[in-house]
Amino acid sequence: MDFFTGPDTRAAQAAVEVCTEFAEPWLRNHSLRAYSWAVAYGTSAGITDYDDELLYVAALLHDLALTPFFDSHRMPFEEAGGRLAKVFAAGAGWDAARRERLNEVIVLHMRDDVPAAQDAESHLLQIAVSADVSGRRLELFTPEFTGELLGRYPRLGFAEKFLERAEDQAVRKPECAAAELMRGGWLERIRSNALDLG
């Protein structure tokens, strides 16, 4: 299975175009890696009953509200990003229920772990993003896969650039999930991520 190529749909292609236009290269690569981590983990864990297009679009759009174009000064970035993704999905012709699922997956990527049996797409994105951001559960992935992934989508100084955005969110929105994570040692986990130490 190709872990590095998303579904060949108009919505998936549009999500890449939107992410490429509005996210800086380091953030775009994070989004592309998130999908690959998710699919690779799903395959190894036997989680195959999920909506691949939904997962791909969620991965590509999940952090767009961290960009200057879409940052909300009041709303946590994952909630603003979920609503932004709903607008994108409406333009892609998705029905209301599917648009709401996209919003839910993006919001939940910053929440407590969701079991795969309850919500496969949210579970996969949570595993993927936590691996890429803070190195959590990297042992679930082979060195060969990790090396190829980083070769295709280099980190480009991801840790420090992401931390700058996360710290800004935490300062401006002290009740948001990013602020709670920062108080719980997220900064140290991100800076000690093995993906950035090699």
Give the pLDDT confidence of 122-155 residue by residue, as tens digits: 999 999 999 999 999 999 999 999 999 999 999 9
How large is the angle between the packed helices 96-108 and 77-91, nearest 10 degrees? 150
pTM: 0.97
pLDDT (tens digit, 9 = 90+) per residue, 38-69?
A: 999 999 999 999 999 999 999 999 999 999 99
Tokens of 145: 């896969």
Average pLDDT of the residues of the chain: 96
35/105 Cα distance (integer angstroms): 13
| Other beta carbons within 10 Å of 193 | 18
Cβ proximity of 124 and 155 under 8 Å:
no
